[in-house]
Amino acid sequence: MNGNWVESSNPEKMEIINPATQEVIARAPLGTKEETNEAIKIAKQTFESAVWSGQSPKERAAVLLQIADKLQENIDVLTDLEVQNNGKTRREAQSDVEEAASTFRYYAGLLTMPNGQSYEASGDIQTLIVKEPMGVAGLIVPWNFPLLMSVWKIAPALAAGNSILLKPAEITPMTAVKLFELMDETDLPKGAANLIMGVGSVVGQTIAESNDVDIVSFTGSTEVGRRIMQAASGNLKKVSLELGGKSPNIIFDDADLETAVDYALFGIFLGSGQVCSSGSRLLVQEGIYDTFVEKFVEKAKAIRVGPGNDEHSQMGAIVGEKHFKSILDYIRIGKEEGANLVLGGNRIEKDGLDRGFFIEPTVFTHVTSDMRIVREEIFGPVVAIQKFKGEEEAVRIANDTDFGLAGAVFSTDHNKAIRVIKKVRAGITWVNAYHLTNIQAPWGGYKQSGIGRSLSTYGLDEYQETKQINIHLEPKPIGWFE
Protein backbone atom coordinates (compact mmCIF):
# COMPACT_ATOMS: atom_id res chain seq x y z
CA MET A 1 0.00 0.00 0.00
CA ASN A 2 1.20 3.49 -0.77
CA GLY A 3 4.01 2.02 -2.79
CA ASN A 4 5.00 -0.47 -0.07
CA TRP A 5 4.50 -4.20 0.34
CA VAL A 6 1.99 -4.89 3.11
CA GLU A 7 0.67 -8.06 4.72
CA SER A 8 -2.99 -8.83 4.24
CA SER A 9 -5.08 -8.76 7.39
CA ASN A 10 -6.67 -12.03 6.24
CA PRO A 11 -4.90 -14.87 8.10
CA GLU A 12 -6.01 -17.33 5.42
CA LYS A 13 -3.38 -18.04 2.74
CA MET A 14 -3.49 -19.72 -0.65
CA GLU A 15 -1.02 -22.57 -1.05
CA ILE A 16 0.78 -22.09 -4.34
CA ILE A 17 1.41 -25.47 -5.92
CA ASN A 18 3.91 -26.65 -8.51
CA PRO A 19 1.55 -28.61 -10.78
CA ALA A 20 4.33 -30.91 -11.98
CA THR A 21 4.98 -32.22 -8.46
CA GLN A 22 2.15 -30.93 -6.25
CA GLU A 23 4.78 -29.40 -3.96
CA VAL A 24 3.83 -26.22 -2.14
CA ILE A 25 6.17 -23.50 -3.44
CA ALA A 26 4.70 -20.50 -1.59
CA ARG A 27 1.80 -19.26 0.51
CA ALA A 28 0.10 -16.25 -1.00
CA PRO A 29 -2.08 -13.68 0.75
CA LEU A 30 -5.76 -13.44 -0.03
CA GLY A 31 -6.64 -9.76 -0.04
CA THR A 32 -9.91 -8.58 1.44
CA LYS A 33 -12.61 -6.30 0.03
CA GLU A 34 -11.43 -3.48 2.32
CA GLU A 35 -7.81 -3.92 1.21
CA THR A 36 -8.86 -3.90 -2.43
CA ASN A 37 -10.77 -0.67 -1.90
CA GLU A 38 -7.73 0.79 -0.13
CA ALA A 39 -5.50 -0.12 -3.10
CA ILE A 40 -8.03 1.45 -5.48
CA LYS A 41 -7.99 4.61 -3.36
CA ILE A 42 -4.19 4.79 -3.57
CA ALA A 43 -4.29 4.30 -7.34
CA LYS A 44 -6.88 7.08 -7.62
CA GLN A 45 -4.92 9.50 -5.43
CA THR A 46 -1.77 8.75 -7.42
CA PHE A 47 -3.61 9.41 -10.67
CA GLU A 48 -5.00 12.68 -9.41
CA SER A 49 -1.62 13.78 -8.09
CA ALA A 50 -0.37 13.59 -11.70
CA VAL A 51 3.02 12.15 -10.65
CA TRP A 52 2.61 9.64 -13.46
CA SER A 53 -0.33 10.84 -15.55
CA GLY A 54 1.29 14.29 -15.73
CA GLN A 55 4.63 13.03 -17.05
CA SER A 56 5.33 13.59 -20.71
CA PRO A 57 5.05 10.61 -23.08
CA LYS A 58 8.83 10.74 -23.43
CA GLU A 59 9.31 10.42 -19.66
CA ARG A 60 6.81 7.59 -19.43
CA ALA A 61 8.53 5.81 -22.35
CA ALA A 62 11.85 5.96 -20.50
CA VAL A 63 10.30 4.17 -17.50
CA LEU A 64 8.70 1.50 -19.70
CA LEU A 65 12.12 0.82 -21.23
CA GLN A 66 13.61 0.46 -17.74
CA ILE A 67 10.96 -2.16 -16.95
CA ALA A 68 11.71 -3.99 -20.23
CA ASP A 69 15.41 -4.07 -19.33
CA LYS A 70 14.63 -5.41 -15.86
CA LEU A 71 12.56 -8.22 -17.39
CA GLN A 72 15.32 -9.10 -19.81
CA GLU A 73 17.99 -9.07 -17.06
CA ASN A 74 15.82 -11.36 -14.93
CA ILE A 75 14.73 -13.71 -17.67
CA ASP A 76 16.07 -16.83 -15.94
CA VAL A 77 14.40 -16.08 -12.60
CA LEU A 78 11.09 -15.23 -14.26
CA THR A 79 11.25 -18.31 -16.49
CA ASP A 80 11.90 -20.54 -13.48
CA LEU A 81 9.03 -19.03 -11.53
CA GLU A 82 6.61 -19.44 -14.44
CA VAL A 83 7.66 -23.07 -15.00
CA GLN A 84 7.27 -23.88 -11.29
CA ASN A 85 3.96 -22.13 -10.84
CA ASN A 86 2.17 -22.73 -14.14
CA GLY A 87 3.66 -26.06 -15.24
CA LYS A 88 4.57 -24.93 -18.75
CA THR A 89 7.86 -25.89 -20.40
CA ARG A 90 10.97 -23.69 -20.12
CA ARG A 91 10.85 -22.98 -23.83
CA GLU A 92 7.29 -21.66 -23.52
CA ALA A 93 8.00 -19.71 -20.32
CA GLN A 94 11.13 -18.08 -21.67
CA SER A 95 9.34 -16.99 -24.80
CA ASP A 96 6.64 -15.43 -22.58
CA VAL A 97 9.24 -13.36 -20.71
CA GLU A 98 10.84 -12.22 -23.98
CA GLU A 99 7.41 -11.24 -25.32
CA ALA A 100 6.66 -9.38 -22.09
CA ALA A 101 9.86 -7.32 -22.42
CA SER A 102 9.06 -6.63 -26.10
CA THR A 103 5.57 -5.47 -25.16
CA PHE A 104 6.97 -2.80 -22.80
CA ARG A 105 9.40 -1.74 -25.54
CA TYR A 106 6.64 -1.57 -28.15
CA TYR A 107 4.49 0.74 -26.01
CA ALA A 108 7.52 2.86 -25.13
CA GLY A 109 8.03 3.21 -28.89
CA LEU A 110 4.39 4.12 -29.49
CA LEU A 111 4.80 6.97 -27.01
CA THR A 112 7.29 8.57 -29.40
CA MET A 113 4.55 8.82 -32.06
CA PRO A 114 1.87 11.51 -32.34
CA ASN A 115 -1.25 10.35 -30.49
CA GLY A 116 -4.39 12.09 -31.72
CA GLN A 117 -5.67 13.99 -34.74
CA SER A 118 -6.35 17.48 -35.93
CA TYR A 119 -9.16 18.72 -38.18
CA GLU A 120 -9.81 22.10 -39.69
CA ALA A 121 -13.57 22.28 -39.16
CA SER A 122 -13.96 25.64 -40.85
CA GLY A 123 -11.63 28.52 -41.61
CA ASP A 124 -11.55 29.78 -38.03
CA ILE A 125 -12.23 26.60 -36.04
CA GLN A 126 -9.47 24.10 -35.53
CA THR A 127 -10.45 20.82 -33.88
CA LEU A 128 -7.90 18.82 -31.95
CA ILE A 129 -8.72 15.23 -31.09
CA VAL A 130 -6.58 14.38 -28.08
CA LYS A 131 -6.04 11.21 -26.11
CA GLU A 132 -6.00 11.26 -22.31
CA PRO A 133 -5.56 8.62 -19.61
CA MET A 134 -8.79 7.24 -18.16
CA GLY A 135 -7.81 7.19 -14.48
CA VAL A 136 -7.65 3.93 -12.54
CA ALA A 137 -7.35 0.75 -14.61
CA GLY A 138 -8.35 -2.47 -12.83
CA LEU A 139 -6.58 -5.39 -14.50
CA ILE A 140 -7.72 -8.96 -13.86
CA VAL A 141 -5.77 -11.81 -15.45
CA PRO A 142 -5.93 -15.62 -15.76
CA TRP A 143 -3.39 -18.35 -14.95
CA ASN A 144 -2.43 -19.60 -18.40
CA PHE A 145 0.11 -16.87 -19.22
CA PRO A 146 0.49 -15.29 -15.77
CA LEU A 147 3.27 -12.86 -16.70
CA LEU A 148 2.43 -12.19 -20.34
CA MET A 149 -1.30 -11.54 -19.83
CA SER A 150 -0.43 -9.13 -17.00
CA VAL A 151 2.03 -7.26 -19.20
CA TRP A 152 -0.38 -7.11 -22.16
CA LYS A 153 -2.50 -4.96 -19.86
CA ILE A 154 0.07 -3.19 -17.66
CA ALA A 155 2.24 -1.88 -20.51
CA PRO A 156 -0.46 -0.03 -22.51
CA ALA A 157 -2.35 1.07 -19.37
CA LEU A 158 0.78 2.67 -17.90
CA ALA A 159 1.88 4.01 -21.30
CA ALA A 160 -1.43 5.88 -21.50
CA GLY A 161 -0.75 7.47 -18.08
CA ASN A 162 -3.23 5.53 -15.97
CA SER A 163 -2.65 4.24 -12.47
CA ILE A 164 -3.18 0.50 -12.35
CA LEU A 165 -4.28 -2.22 -9.98
CA LEU A 166 -3.41 -5.78 -11.05
CA LYS A 167 -5.10 -8.90 -9.73
CA PRO A 168 -3.32 -12.07 -10.83
CA ALA A 169 -5.09 -15.43 -10.85
CA GLU A 170 -5.05 -16.67 -7.26
CA ILE A 171 -3.19 -19.88 -8.16
CA THR A 172 -0.40 -18.24 -10.24
CA PRO A 173 0.78 -15.00 -8.60
CA MET A 174 4.56 -15.72 -8.59
CA THR A 175 5.73 -13.88 -11.73
CA ALA A 176 3.42 -10.93 -11.03
CA VAL A 177 5.06 -10.48 -7.61
CA LYS A 178 8.51 -10.58 -9.22
CA LEU A 179 7.43 -8.13 -11.93
CA PHE A 180 6.24 -5.66 -9.28
CA GLU A 181 9.50 -6.07 -7.33
CA LEU A 182 11.34 -5.21 -10.54
CA MET A 183 9.07 -2.24 -11.30
CA ASP A 184 9.88 -1.01 -7.79
CA GLU A 185 13.52 -0.72 -8.87
CA THR A 186 12.63 1.66 -11.72
CA ASP A 187 11.59 5.31 -11.76
CA LEU A 188 7.89 4.42 -11.85
CA PRO A 189 6.31 6.62 -9.15
CA LYS A 190 5.05 4.79 -6.08
CA GLY A 191 1.32 4.16 -6.19
CA ALA A 192 1.10 4.20 -10.01
CA ALA A 193 1.24 0.40 -10.16
CA ASN A 194 -0.45 -1.66 -7.47
CA LEU A 195 -0.76 -5.39 -7.01
CA ILE A 196 -3.34 -7.22 -4.97
CA MET A 197 -3.56 -10.97 -4.63
CA GLY A 198 -6.75 -12.77 -3.79
CA VAL A 199 -9.73 -14.67 -5.08
CA GLY A 200 -11.89 -13.49 -7.95
CA SER A 201 -15.16 -13.37 -6.06
CA VAL A 202 -13.65 -10.94 -3.51
CA VAL A 203 -10.80 -8.92 -5.03
CA GLY A 204 -11.88 -9.23 -8.69
CA GLN A 205 -15.51 -8.52 -7.93
CA THR A 206 -14.59 -5.46 -5.81
CA ILE A 207 -12.49 -4.05 -8.65
CA ALA A 208 -15.29 -4.64 -11.17
CA GLU A 209 -17.87 -2.99 -8.89
CA SER A 210 -15.83 -0.03 -7.66
CA ASN A 211 -17.01 3.45 -8.55
CA ASP A 212 -13.40 4.61 -8.40
CA VAL A 213 -12.21 2.30 -11.16
CA ASP A 214 -12.55 3.80 -14.64
CA ILE A 215 -11.83 0.74 -16.76
CA VAL A 216 -11.84 -2.94 -15.90
CA SER A 217 -9.76 -4.98 -18.27
CA PHE A 218 -10.31 -8.69 -17.87
CA THR A 219 -8.89 -11.82 -19.46
CA GLY A 220 -10.47 -15.08 -18.48
CA SER A 221 -13.51 -17.24 -19.03
CA THR A 222 -16.64 -16.08 -20.81
CA GLU A 223 -18.69 -16.94 -17.72
CA VAL A 224 -16.70 -14.62 -15.43
CA GLY A 225 -16.54 -12.00 -18.20
CA ARG A 226 -20.33 -11.85 -18.14
CA ARG A 227 -20.28 -11.35 -14.35
CA ILE A 228 -17.71 -8.56 -14.66
CA MET A 229 -19.82 -6.74 -17.20
CA GLN A 230 -22.79 -6.80 -14.83
CA ALA A 231 -20.69 -5.68 -11.87
CA ALA A 232 -19.19 -2.84 -13.93
CA SER A 233 -22.57 -1.35 -14.75
CA GLY A 234 -22.78 0.60 -11.45
CA ASN A 235 -20.60 3.48 -12.60
CA LEU A 236 -20.70 2.50 -16.29
CA LYS A 237 -16.97 1.95 -16.30
CA LYS A 238 -15.41 0.85 -19.55
CA VAL A 239 -15.16 -2.92 -19.90
CA SER A 240 -12.52 -4.68 -21.96
CA LEU A 241 -12.87 -8.46 -22.19
CA GLU A 242 -10.58 -11.13 -23.64
CA LEU A 243 -12.50 -14.36 -23.21
CA GLY A 244 -12.61 -17.99 -24.20
CA GLY A 245 -12.66 -19.73 -27.55
CA LYS A 246 -13.40 -22.93 -29.42
CA SER A 247 -11.49 -22.16 -32.53
CA PRO A 248 -11.82 -23.97 -35.87
CA ASN A 249 -8.77 -25.07 -37.82
CA ILE A 250 -9.90 -25.94 -41.36
CA ILE A 251 -7.75 -28.31 -43.43
CA PHE A 252 -8.64 -28.66 -47.12
CA ASP A 253 -7.76 -31.66 -49.32
CA ASP A 254 -5.23 -29.55 -51.22
CA ALA A 255 -3.32 -28.46 -48.10
CA ASP A 256 0.37 -29.24 -47.76
CA LEU A 257 -0.20 -32.22 -45.50
CA GLU A 258 3.03 -32.04 -43.53
CA THR A 259 2.60 -28.32 -42.77
CA ALA A 260 -1.07 -28.75 -41.86
CA VAL A 261 -0.41 -31.66 -39.50
CA ASP A 262 2.49 -29.82 -37.87
CA TYR A 263 0.52 -26.61 -37.26
CA ALA A 264 -2.57 -28.54 -36.16
CA LEU A 265 -0.45 -30.14 -33.41
CA PHE A 266 1.07 -26.77 -32.48
CA GLY A 267 -2.41 -25.23 -32.58
CA ILE A 268 -3.90 -27.54 -29.97
CA PHE A 269 -1.04 -28.89 -27.86
CA LEU A 270 0.96 -25.69 -27.21
CA GLY A 271 0.63 -24.86 -23.53
CA SER A 272 -1.10 -28.26 -23.03
CA GLY A 273 -4.10 -26.77 -24.82
CA GLN A 274 -4.51 -24.09 -22.14
CA VAL A 275 -4.32 -21.29 -24.67
CA CYS A 276 -7.39 -19.17 -25.42
CA SER A 277 -6.76 -19.26 -29.18
CA SER A 278 -6.11 -23.06 -29.32
CA GLY A 279 -7.31 -24.79 -32.47
CA SER A 280 -9.51 -27.17 -30.51
CA ARG A 281 -11.83 -28.01 -33.42
CA LEU A 282 -10.07 -29.56 -36.40
CA LEU A 283 -12.21 -29.57 -39.53
CA VAL A 284 -10.70 -31.89 -42.15
CA GLN A 285 -11.96 -32.36 -45.72
CA GLU A 286 -13.14 -35.87 -46.58
CA GLY A 287 -10.53 -36.63 -49.28
CA ILE A 288 -7.59 -36.51 -46.84
CA TYR A 289 -9.49 -37.17 -43.63
CA ASP A 290 -8.18 -40.70 -42.96
CA THR A 291 -4.60 -39.91 -43.94
CA PHE A 292 -4.63 -36.69 -41.90
CA VAL A 293 -6.02 -38.37 -38.78
CA GLU A 294 -3.48 -41.17 -39.06
CA LYS A 295 -0.52 -38.79 -39.35
CA PHE A 296 -1.85 -36.42 -36.70
CA VAL A 297 -2.39 -39.21 -34.18
CA GLU A 298 1.02 -40.71 -34.91
CA LYS A 299 2.73 -37.39 -34.18
CA ALA A 300 0.54 -36.53 -31.18
CA LYS A 301 1.42 -39.91 -29.65
CA ALA A 302 5.12 -39.02 -29.88
CA ILE A 303 4.81 -35.72 -27.93
CA ARG A 304 6.99 -35.96 -24.83
CA VAL A 305 4.89 -34.90 -21.85
CA GLY A 306 6.71 -34.06 -18.64
CA PRO A 307 7.83 -31.48 -16.08
CA GLY A 308 8.50 -28.07 -17.56
CA ASN A 309 12.00 -27.94 -16.11
CA ASP A 310 13.05 -31.14 -17.92
CA GLU A 311 14.61 -30.06 -21.20
CA HIS A 312 13.17 -33.16 -22.93
CA SER A 313 9.58 -32.20 -22.13
CA GLN A 314 7.60 -30.80 -25.06
CA MET A 315 4.29 -30.45 -23.23
CA GLY A 316 4.00 -29.54 -19.56
CA ALA A 317 1.52 -30.06 -16.74
CA ILE A 318 -2.06 -28.88 -16.38
CA VAL A 319 -2.09 -25.82 -14.12
CA GLY A 320 -3.90 -27.23 -11.09
CA GLU A 321 -6.05 -30.01 -9.70
CA LYS A 322 -9.44 -28.37 -10.25
CA HIS A 323 -8.76 -27.69 -13.92
CA PHE A 324 -7.11 -31.12 -14.35
CA LYS A 325 -10.29 -32.80 -13.09
CA SER A 326 -12.44 -30.64 -15.34
CA ILE A 327 -10.47 -31.75 -18.43
CA LEU A 328 -10.75 -35.43 -17.44
CA ASP A 329 -14.49 -34.87 -16.92
CA TYR A 330 -14.82 -33.51 -20.46
CA ILE A 331 -12.98 -36.58 -21.80
CA ARG A 332 -15.48 -38.80 -19.98
CA ILE A 333 -18.36 -36.71 -21.35
CA GLY A 334 -16.94 -37.04 -24.89
CA LYS A 335 -16.91 -40.83 -24.58
CA GLU A 336 -20.44 -40.85 -23.15
CA GLU A 337 -21.64 -38.63 -25.98
CA GLY A 338 -20.46 -41.26 -28.46
CA ALA A 339 -17.35 -39.58 -29.84
CA ASN A 340 -14.56 -41.92 -30.88
CA LEU A 341 -11.50 -41.63 -28.65
CA VAL A 342 -8.59 -42.45 -30.95
CA LEU A 343 -5.73 -41.27 -28.73
CA GLY A 344 -5.03 -40.58 -25.07
CA GLY A 345 -7.78 -39.68 -22.66
CA ASN A 346 -5.90 -40.52 -19.48
CA ARG A 347 -3.87 -39.06 -16.68
CA ILE A 348 -0.19 -39.92 -17.18
CA GLU A 349 1.17 -41.91 -14.26
CA LYS A 350 4.43 -43.39 -15.54
CA ASP A 351 7.95 -42.11 -14.82
CA GLY A 352 6.91 -40.32 -11.63
CA LEU A 353 4.41 -38.11 -13.46
CA ASP A 354 1.66 -39.37 -11.15
CA ARG A 355 2.88 -36.78 -8.63
CA GLY A 356 1.72 -34.00 -10.97
CA PHE A 357 -1.21 -33.13 -13.22
CA PHE A 358 -0.33 -34.59 -16.61
CA ILE A 359 -2.82 -35.60 -19.29
CA GLU A 360 -2.10 -37.46 -22.52
CA PRO A 361 -2.60 -35.65 -25.82
CA THR A 362 -6.18 -36.62 -26.55
CA VAL A 363 -7.93 -36.95 -29.92
CA PHE A 364 -11.61 -37.51 -30.60
CA THR A 365 -13.05 -38.27 -34.04
CA HIS A 366 -16.64 -38.91 -35.19
CA VAL A 367 -17.84 -35.87 -33.33
CA THR A 368 -20.95 -33.86 -34.14
CA SER A 369 -21.59 -30.15 -33.67
CA ASP A 370 -24.10 -30.71 -30.87
CA MET A 371 -21.66 -32.53 -28.57
CA ARG A 372 -20.44 -30.68 -25.48
CA ILE A 373 -16.81 -31.48 -26.34
CA VAL A 374 -17.35 -29.56 -29.58
CA ARG A 375 -19.35 -26.66 -28.15
CA GLU A 376 -17.63 -25.94 -24.82
CA GLU A 377 -14.12 -24.73 -24.13
CA ILE A 378 -12.17 -27.61 -22.53
CA PHE A 379 -8.91 -25.66 -22.26
CA GLY A 380 -6.74 -28.77 -22.28
CA PRO A 381 -4.86 -31.10 -24.65
CA VAL A 382 -8.07 -32.38 -26.22
CA VAL A 383 -9.00 -31.96 -29.87
CA ALA A 384 -12.20 -32.87 -31.70
CA ILE A 385 -11.82 -33.73 -35.40
CA GLN A 386 -14.81 -33.25 -37.72
CA LYS A 387 -15.13 -34.21 -41.40
CA PHE A 388 -16.51 -31.82 -44.04
CA LYS A 389 -17.32 -32.15 -47.73
CA GLY A 390 -16.87 -28.70 -49.26
CA GLU A 391 -16.11 -25.03 -48.69
CA GLU A 392 -19.63 -24.03 -47.72
CA GLU A 393 -19.98 -26.78 -45.12
CA ALA A 394 -16.56 -25.93 -43.65
CA VAL A 395 -17.61 -22.31 -43.11
CA ARG A 396 -20.96 -23.34 -41.64
CA ILE A 397 -19.36 -25.73 -39.13
CA ALA A 398 -16.58 -23.26 -38.30
CA ASN A 399 -19.08 -20.53 -37.43
CA ASP A 400 -21.49 -22.82 -35.57
CA THR A 401 -20.22 -21.66 -32.17
CA ASP A 402 -20.91 -18.97 -29.58
CA PHE A 403 -17.20 -18.07 -29.63
CA GLY A 404 -15.22 -16.10 -32.21
CA LEU A 405 -11.67 -15.79 -30.99
CA ALA A 406 -9.45 -17.49 -33.58
CA GLY A 407 -9.42 -19.70 -36.67
CA ALA A 408 -7.21 -20.97 -39.47
CA VAL A 409 -7.38 -22.37 -42.99
CA PHE A 410 -4.85 -24.67 -44.66
CA SER A 411 -4.91 -24.89 -48.45
CA THR A 412 -2.48 -24.42 -51.35
CA ASP A 413 -5.28 -22.68 -53.29
CA HIS A 414 -4.66 -19.19 -51.97
CA ASN A 415 -7.81 -17.68 -53.43
CA LYS A 416 -9.91 -20.28 -51.65
CA ALA A 417 -7.96 -19.89 -48.42
CA ILE A 418 -8.53 -16.13 -48.37
CA ARG A 419 -12.19 -16.49 -49.38
CA VAL A 420 -12.80 -18.91 -46.51
CA ILE A 421 -10.79 -17.11 -43.81
CA LYS A 422 -12.72 -13.91 -44.57
CA LYS A 423 -15.94 -15.78 -43.81
CA VAL A 424 -14.70 -17.16 -40.47
CA ARG A 425 -16.25 -14.99 -37.74
CA ALA A 426 -13.21 -14.56 -35.51
CA GLY A 427 -10.75 -11.83 -34.55
CA ILE A 428 -7.44 -13.70 -34.83
CA THR A 429 -6.94 -15.80 -37.95
CA TRP A 430 -4.26 -17.53 -39.99
CA VAL A 431 -3.74 -18.92 -43.47
CA ASN A 432 -1.36 -21.89 -43.55
CA ALA A 433 -0.17 -21.19 -40.00
CA TYR A 434 -1.40 -21.21 -36.42
CA HIS A 435 -0.63 -19.23 -33.24
CA LEU A 436 1.92 -16.96 -34.95
CA THR A 437 1.13 -13.39 -34.00
CA ASN A 438 2.83 -10.13 -33.16
CA ILE A 439 2.50 -7.17 -30.84
CA GLN A 440 1.69 -4.88 -33.80
CA ALA A 441 -1.62 -6.68 -34.48
CA PRO A 442 -4.81 -6.29 -32.42
CA TRP A 443 -5.77 -9.32 -30.31
CA GLY A 444 -9.37 -10.07 -29.41
CA GLY A 445 -12.54 -11.86 -30.31
CA TYR A 446 -15.92 -11.68 -32.01
CA LYS A 447 -19.17 -12.85 -30.41
CA GLN A 448 -18.77 -14.26 -26.87
CA SER A 449 -14.98 -14.23 -27.09
CA GLY A 450 -14.85 -10.67 -25.91
CA ILE A 451 -15.07 -6.94 -26.33
CA GLY A 452 -12.16 -4.70 -27.29
CA ARG A 453 -8.64 -5.45 -28.41
CA SER A 454 -5.24 -5.91 -26.75
CA LEU A 455 -1.82 -5.08 -28.20
CA SER A 456 -1.07 -2.79 -31.15
CA THR A 457 -2.32 0.79 -31.28
CA TYR A 458 -5.83 -0.56 -30.52
CA GLY A 459 -4.47 -1.83 -27.19
CA LEU A 460 -3.26 1.64 -26.23
CA ASP A 461 -6.57 3.16 -27.25
CA GLU A 462 -8.37 0.74 -24.95
CA TYR A 463 -6.91 2.66 -21.97
CA GLN A 464 -7.46 6.19 -23.28
CA GLU A 465 -10.27 8.70 -23.28
CA THR A 466 -10.79 10.67 -26.48
CA LYS A 467 -11.48 14.38 -26.25
CA GLN A 468 -12.28 16.99 -28.86
CA ILE A 469 -10.93 20.51 -28.31
CA ASN A 470 -12.44 23.07 -30.67
CA ILE A 471 -10.30 26.18 -30.92
CA HIS A 472 -11.68 29.44 -32.25
CA LEU A 473 -8.77 31.00 -34.09
CA GLU A 474 -10.48 34.40 -34.52
CA PRO A 475 -12.70 34.75 -31.41
CA LYS A 476 -15.74 37.00 -31.89
CA PRO A 477 -19.39 36.81 -30.63
CA ILE A 478 -21.59 34.23 -32.34
CA GLY A 479 -24.61 36.60 -32.24
CA TRP A 480 -27.15 33.72 -32.08
CA PHE A 481 -29.68 35.60 -29.93
CA GLU A 482 -29.41 38.97 -31.56
x/- string (CB under 6 A) for ligand NAD, residues 199-238?
xxx--xx--x----------xxx--x--xx----------
Closer residue to ligand NAD in complex, CB, 161/198: 198
CB of 323 to ligand NAD, least distance (A): 7
Q: Are 433 and 263 in contact (CB under 8 A)?
A: yes
CB of 476 to ligand NAD, least distance (A): 52
Contacts (CB under 6 A) with ligand NAD, residues 158-197: 167, 169-170
Contacts (CB under 6 A) with ligand NAD, residues 409-468: 445, 450
Closer residue to ligand NAD in complex, CB, 166/363: 166
Q: Give, to the nearest 10 degrees, the angle between helix 75-86 and helix 90-110.
A: 120
Closer residue to ligand NAD in complex, CB, 162/274: 274
Cα gap 200→36, rounded to integer Å: 11
Closer residue to ligand NAD in complex, CB, 143/410: 143
Total interface residues for ligand NAD by CB under 6 A: 31
Report the greatest alpha carbon distance in the chain.
91
CB of 482 to ligand NAD, least distance (A): 56
Phi, psi of 283 (to 5 degrees): -110, 115
x/- string (CB under 6 A) for ligand NAD, residues 341-380?
------------------------------------x-x-
Closer residue to ligand NAD in complex, CB, 239/255: 239
CB of 427 to ligand NAD, least distance (A): 9
Name the nearest CA neighbour of 248 among 365, 375, 414: 375
x/- string (CB under 6 A) for ligand NAD, residues 244-273?
xx----------------------------
**34 an active-site residue?**
no
CB of 80 to ligand NAD, least distance (A): 21
Q: In what order do the strands lie in the sheet with 464-472?
A: 116-122, 125-133, 464-472
CB of 183 to ligand NAD, least distance (A): 19
Name the nearest CA neighbour of 151 among 107, 109, 208: 107
Q: Is 242 in the site for ligand NAD (CB under 6 A)?
A: yes
Which region among 13-21, 85-93, 189-197, 239-247 touches ligand NAD (by CB under 6 A)? 239-247
Q: Which of 149, 193, 261, 383 binds ligand NAD (CB under 6 A)?
A: 149
CB of 426 to ligand NAD, least distance (A): 11
Give, in order, the Cα–Cα distances in Å from 87 to each of 156, 270, 365.
27, 12, 28
Q: Is 96 in the site for ligand NAD (CB under 6 A)?
A: no
Cα gap 327→201, rounded to integer Å: 23
Q: Which of 21, 89, 144, 365 binds ligand NAD (CB under 6 A)?
A: 144
x/- string (CB under 6 A) for ligand NAD, residues 97-126?
------------------------------
Q: Is 28 in the site for ligand NAD (CB under 6 A)?
A: no
Query: From the candidates 82, 276, 391, 462, which is the catalytic residue?
Result: 276
Name the nearest CA neighbour of 139 among 161, 168, 111: 168
Strand-pair partners of 129: 117, 468
CB of 398 to ligand NAD, least distance (A): 18
For 468-474, the CB contacts below 8 A with 24+ separation are 468/127, 468/128, 468/129, 468/130, 469/127, 469/128, 469/129, 469/130, 470/121, 470/125, 470/126, 470/127, 471/125, 471/126, 471/127, 471/128, 472/124, 472/125, 473/123, 473/124, 473/125, 473/126, 474/124
Cα gap 241→239, rounded to integer Å: 6
Which region among 143-151, 177-185, 418-426, 471-479 touches ligand NAD (by CB under 6 A)? 143-151
**276 an active-site residue?**
yes
Query: From the candidates 242, 360, 391, 462, which is the catalytic residue?
Result: 242
* Catalytic (active-site) positions: 242, 276
User: Where does this chain bind ligand NAD (CB under 6 A)?
Assistant: 140-144, 149, 167, 169-170, 199-201, 204-205, 208, 219-221, 224, 227-228, 242-245, 276, 377, 379, 405, 445, 450
